[in-house]
Structure 1
Amino acid sequence: MKNKKTSNYQTKPVKSLAFKVTAETELMKFLIEMLPHKSRTHIKSLLTHKQVFIDGKPVSQFNKSLTIGQEVTIGKGNNRTEVDLPGIKIMYEDKDLIVINKAEGLLSIATENGTDDTAYSLLSKYLKAQHYSNRIFVVHRLDRDTSGVMMYAKSQQVQELLQEAWNTNVTERTYLAIVHGVPEKEKDTISSYLRESKAYKVHSSKVSVPGGEKAVTHYETLMSTADYSLVKVNLETGKKNQIRVHLQDIGHPIIGDKKYGSTLNPIKRLGLHAWVLAFTHPITKKELRFQTELPGKFRKIFPNALKDQDQPKE
């Protein structure tokens, strides 16, 4: 799954039936099981007229293999539109929320003076193409230059449920970072108080300061070269610029992060990627886990990193 800057995703029909794949099977067998009231001839007609979608993309191959976690949608009309989602790969979607893999360089939500497309605006257009009343709600954010997995809610209720119980419902937030040098300790915990200045830069203090919030970051060095290290980072708290500030604190800033101490940018982007997001679905209470691939630019420095984990997990 390569993270391309521009990808076309076909929206699901306004009137449709959606089914989640829970066991590996073939498409025709799955459709017969899900639509027991429909004849084989009718189902074949749906396929012929491209009224069957797998994860939003039309298919006509009756023996198409299905894998666990995919969504099969059966449309009831020809009312389909295409929405361009540059910088976004949809990983999961249901009636309550949507999980994406965001490219670096794309804002999560607009700034005060911003006019560029954002993940929020693109997903809003995507959902409104299905029905004019559909809306999208921000749950959390990634920095513009940070890539990786994040989610949005489809209703204010789900947004509030996720945000109010964030620390309880989110069971894993793992990032990958390429940093300068090799940390002295292979693994450690960084704890400090973070406070944002009027210049929008976050400062770290080992002691409590007015306006400061405690932040805790756990890291582990996965592999190193003479000049750089690939570090796995788990967040215990989720403060603004927390990872970037804490890695600067230990003398190993993230490459490409000029704001927080980096003087090198060998991959022409910020070396920070949101790798894994796991949480309890606020409505269904199911445990969901989403894992992305290591960004291609990261492999310029670590070509063999995580080879045994290349297949993203859900």
Structure 2
Amino acid sequence: MPKNSRPQAIMFTVREATTLLSFIMQAQSGISRNKAKAILAGSGVTVNGKIQTRHDYALTPGMKVGISKHKPAQQLNNKFVKIVYEDAYIVVVEKNVGILSMAANHHAFSVKSVLDEYFRRSKQACTAHVVHRLDRDTSGLLVYAKTIQAEQTLEHNWREIVTDRRYMALVSGRMEQQAGKVQSWLKDNKAYITQSYREDPGGGKWAVTHFRTMKTDGKHSLVELKLETGRKNQIRVHLKDLGHPVCGDIKYGLQGDDPVGRLALHAFRLNFYHPVTGQPLHFETTVPKVFLKALEK
């Protein structure tokens, strides 16, 4: 089998409502939970043609599930970076807090340096090309290109290729609105602090953020955010505009409101068309448990 090719998946039709992990275990003659999770982690499962890695993904009757036992030959063991999908052209990772997407110094510690070392160890003749970024203290999903062709396609067609990009944030206070959107012009001042303006101050960038309140205890709220644009510090500034900044945000937040000991922002969903094959890809991670525990308190 050629390198990076994927084995043919066995297709199943969902007959009754269940979760994806349970369905895999049943469809594969009662394999263990760990083996079923390994198939998911190895991007060996599709739901209606889209790769799905969430074990708690809800299935309904009529859905088509494809299962292959493909697993990456070389696993990446790093507490800051987890690979959720990889092929010959791209790699999708979930990054932890405390690591840059790419460092100014090519030898400094970053997701890119971790991936480059992984490629070297697994004898892949490629490097990680940065396509988009997350702040050091934001966790969640990122895609890196492994070829110049994939990088150029993603970079030049990002808005057309990405179909859904969402974050989950724990914010200060109770949200007044269940759902809505924030829109403004964003521009950095001389101290590199991003400012928000109703009218273009000259050189500003238009930014639109959609939000939906998921849960609140009065003191804090869990909010889902969907980006219409992807500007520097967009979510953090727009939530500040609403009067409900991200918890743990030392730059734009409320001093002392840090219930989870970190910037409470997580990129949980990333859907896009493959830059080479055009296949629709869907990736989603669970909300960090510390966000939910903070509300339970």
RMSD: 2.9
Q: Which moved more, 1:115-124 or 1:236-245?
A: 115-124
- Report what 1:44 is aligned to: none
- Report what 2:252 is aligned to: 260
- Report what 1:173 is aligned to: 165
Q: Is the 8 A contact 2:174 2:220 kept in 1?
A: yes
Report SS of the residue matched to 1:190. strand
Distance 1:20 1:243 in 2: 40
Distance 2:115 2:68 in 1: 19
- Report what 2:120 is aligned to: 128
Of the three residues 170, 180, 187, the one matched with 1:195 is: 187
Q: Is the 8 A contact 2:100 2:136 kept in 1?
A: yes
- Report what 1:275 is aligned to: 268
Of the three residues 137, 140, 147, the one matched with 2:132 is: 140
The one-letter code matched in structure 2 to 1:104 is V
The one-letter code matched in structure 2 to 1:86 is K
Q: Is the 8 A contact 2:76 2:83 kept in 1?
A: no
- Report what 1:246 is aligned to: 238
- Aligned: 1:237 with 2:225: no
- Report what 1:215 is aligned to: 207
CA gap of 1:101–1:68, structure 2 versus 1, over 3 A, is: farther
Of the three residues 197, 205, 211, the one matched with 1:205 is: 197
- Report what 1:292 is aligned to: 285
Q: Is the 8 A contact 2:81 2:93 kept in 1?
A: yes
- Aligned: 1:100 with 2:98: no
Superimposed CA distance per residue, residues 294-314 of structure 1 (whole angstroms, 9 cap, x where no aligned partner) = 11211222359xxxxxxxxxx
CA gap of 1:97–1:249, structure 2 versus 1, over 3 A, is: same
Report SS of the residue matched to 1:110. coil
The one-letter code matched in structure 2 to 1:215 is A
- Report what 2:70 is aligned to: 72
Superimposed CA distance per residue, residues 204-257 of structure 1 (whole angstroms, 9 cap, x where no aligned partner) = 111111121000011011111120000010000000000000000111100000
Q: Is the 8 A contact 1:177 1:271 kept in 2?
A: yes
Question: TM-score with structure 1 length normalisation?
Answer: 0.73
Q: Which moved more, 1:90-99 or 1:128-137?
A: 128-137
Q: CA deviation at 1:23?
A: 3.5
CA gap of 1:87–1:21, structure 2 versus 1, over 3 A, is: farther
Aligned length: 253
Q: CA deviation at 1:282?
A: 1.3
Q: CA deviation at 1:133?
A: 2.4
Distance 1:186 1:73 in 2: 41
CA gap of 1:115–1:153, structure 2 versus 1, over 3 A, is: closer
Report SS of the residue matched to 1:277. strand
Q: CA deviation at 1:262?
A: 2.1
- Report what 2:45 is aligned to: none
Of the three residues 3, 7, 11, the one matched with 1:19 is: 7
The one-letter code matched in structure 1 to 2:101 is S
Superimposed CA distance per residue, residues 276-299 of structure 1 (whole angstroms, 9 cap, x where no aligned partner) = 000011111111110101112112
- Report what 1:227 is aligned to: 219
- Report what 1:85 is aligned to: 78
Q: Is the 8 A contact 1:217 1:236 kept in 2?
A: yes
